[in-house]
Structures are given as C-alpha cells and as structure tokens.
Amino acid sequence: MTIDRINPLEPLQPGKKPGRSGQPERGKESDSISLSSEAIEKAELYRTMDMVSAADDVRAARVEELKAKINDPSYINDTIIKATADRILDAFGL
C-alpha cells in the first residue's frame, strides 16, 4: 500500500517570519499609573513614621549637657526653679 501526499510539506515555508504569535507589539500603548493625593499623603506619613521609629529615643549629648548644668551649683537659682515649676504646671494643664 502506498500513501501519497496531497500537498507537499516543506520544513520552512517562505513568507512567514519566525516569532511568537500573540506577543504584544511594543511602542503602541504604554501602561500608566496614577496616584491620588490621599495615597501620596499616606505614603509620606508612613515614611515619616518609619523615620521616627528608627530614631534614637534618647539624645545622649543633650542628657550629658543637662546633667552638667544640674551638677553646677550656680545653675540652679530662683529663675530656673520658677521656670521649671511653670512648665510642670503647664504640662498638667494647671
């Protein structure tokens, strides 16, 4: 028994370019994104909160400066005592 081909098969067919079909062409359309002003504000808030949480809680140089002032007998006088008392009362809303 003999099987004959109806149409000749060629491994490469002329006129067709190799490549993927269904691949989108570049340059015709581009993707875009837009952010609302609320989203931008929240991003800035989160970035600020991260910076604050990463910062040191205690400023060692400032603490040492205040310790030196307190240990100095000439620093504490009536003016300093009154100012400190006023700040304490203001902090408690009195």
Residue 44 lies in a domain: yes
Residue 18 lies in a domain: no
Residue 5: pLDDT band (50, 70, 90) is low
Q: What stretch of H or E contains 43?
A: helix 37-54
Residue 53 lies in a domain: yes
* pLDDT tens track for 38-73: 999 999 999 999 998 888 777 888 889 989 988 888
Q: How many structural domains comprise the chain?
A: 1
Residue 22 lies in a domain: no
Residue 73 lies in a domain: yes
Residue 80 lies in a domain: yes
pTM of the model: 0.32
Q: Are the C-beta atoms of residues 70 and 76 closer than 8 Å to each other?
A: yes
Q: Are the C-beta atoms of residues 62 and 70 closer than 8 Å to each other?
A: no
Residue 5 lies in a domain: no
Range of the domain at 66: 38-91
Confidence (pLDDT) at 61: 86
Separation CA 4–CA 27 (nearest Å): 47
**C-alpha distance from residue 62 to each of 6, 66, 83 (Å):** 95, 6, 19
